[in-house]
Chains A and B, each alone.
Chain A
Amino acid sequence: MRYVEFEKIAGTIESLCIAACYELPDDVLAALAEAAQSESNPSAAGILNRLIENARLANDRKIPLCQDTGLAVVFVEQGAEVAVKPPAGREHATLHDAINAGVASGYEKGYLRKSVVIDPLNARKNTGSNTPAIIHQTIVPGEKLKLTVMAKGGGCENKSQFRMFKPTAEKEEIIAWVVEVVRAAGADACPPFVVGVGIGGDFELSCLLSKKALLRNLSEKSSDEFYARLETDLLLRINALGLGPQGLGGDTTALAVMVETAPCHIASLPVAVNIECHSHRHKTAII
């Protein structure tokens, strides 16, 4: 068994939170630049160029890309042969404690907005640390720890939807619904979007898949031919909406659509759509 120090994990998460909120990933910048080039609507191209300018300013002047620095959603792939070495005097500290310590220090040191309330309904008091993080952990072979921080804004998350289809549903029904979810997200959720679609599993797994789908490089299609075509069809249909950047019209309503799937029950066909804004912020490190 390999042991990684608690502080090493917390420090890595801290750096990832800060980097995510200041540095727009290269694939997102490339997608914005390509869209600005191909836009037939000059105003839409102008908005896309201002988003690229925003990313440059964020990096150069150390201002976060967006004031909504999000919930910290942390994806962990933990090797079966790696464990946390707790700090002295805290022998029960877990991996989740290390992640939350890193999120708290990252949001403080990075001058990021703390957007988490301790109770969703009763008084909604801000925790003041942007914790707890949302943590999704899987166990994989090996002795590495792969950590991904996604800073997920509230405006786009609010427009994400789930629907249980009949198992006999046709592909077209699902396409029509996904396009409708994107249309309904509209100007409120900061288009152009990255659209994550989770199909299969059960109620909660489809939702998780729709978010995990967002982690793929935007230039990569699904490795499955059927779903790669579905992604292409969905992107064409979504961009045909004409919603455009900021919902003010244009060819660029989404930068990419990414579908992830899982086996499911014979009675079920769960589908989830996770709407992500153009400020698609995520960073990964492997320890």
Chain B
Amino acid sequence: MGNMKNLKPPLSDSVVRSLKAGDEVLVSGAIYSARDMAHKRLCELIDAGRELPLPLEGAVIYFVGPTPARPGQVIGAAGPTTSSRMDAFSPRLIASGLKAMIGKGYRGKELREALKEYGAVHLATIGGAGALLSKHIVAAEVIAYEELGAEAIRKLQVVDFPAIVAYDSFGNSVYDE
């Protein structure tokens, strides 16, 4: 494990390039939730040259589909889903400015090439710790695709959201694959 670093999106190139696989990070600020269907739709918009429902420049996307919030709560359980399902879509988002993703598990070769080429990172957080991680989310608002329910795109305000740099922008991985 490396050093603990604080990340405040939107992320700059220099911040991203300072991160090494194995670094522990705490993310604070606005991030966006998106998983399978939202990724598919965002890529269709990019391919069609249309405007996106979120600002991608320097953005952090969290692969999560939370449980419904109870009355008085901000969000329900909100842990990461399997990252590799987004492998087919993430490189196009990275080419459009996305700087970091948060998920669980491995990423494919093409994705790792995109991290190097454009300067972006993939962060891993604890899969199956949805209750624990939800404590770090202090506000949540659906900003697109409300009809997708749990899969809608949400703007999440996070405080000290814990993660580890799983894949850095130099081709290194924290996993022994």
Q: Is the C-beta of B134 less than 8 angstroms from some C-beta in chain A?
A: yes
* Assembled-state Cα–Cα distance A90/B70 (Å): 33
Closest A-B pairs by Cβ, 5 of them = A188-B105, A63-B131, A58-B131, A190-B127, A64-B77
Which stretch, A65-73, A171-179, A195-203, touches the partner chain B?
A65-73
Interface size on B, residues (CB 8 A): 38
A-B residue pairs in contact (CB < 8 Å), sample of 13 = A50-B126, A54-B129, A61-B131, A66-B77, A113-B68, A114-B149, A115-B65, A155-B82, A186-B106, A187-B105, A247-B105, A249-B176, A277-B127
Interface size of A in residues (CB-CB distance below 8 Å): 41
Q: Which of B99-146 contact A (CB under 8 A)?
A: 104-106, 124, 126-132, 134-135
A51 at the interface (CB under 8 A from B): yes
- In the complex, what residues of A have CB within 8 A of residue B150's CB? 67, 113-115
CB distance from A265 to the nearest CB of B (A): 36
Task: Bits for A155-197, please: 1 = Cβ < 8 Å to B, else 0.
Answer: 1001000000000000000000000000000111110000000
Residues of A whose CB lies within 8 Å of any CB of B are 43, 47, 50-51, 53-55, 57-58, 61-69, 111-115, 124, 126, 128, 155, 158, 186-190, 242, 246-249, 277-279
Return the chain B residue nearest A191 by Cβ.
B127
Residues of B at under 8 Å CB distance from A? 1, 37, 64-70, 73, 76-79, 81-84, 104-106, 124, 126-132, 134-135, 149-150, 164, 174-177
Interface centre among B67, B124, B149 (most CB of A within 10 A): B67
Which residues on the B side are within 8 Å of A61 (C-beta)?
A: 131
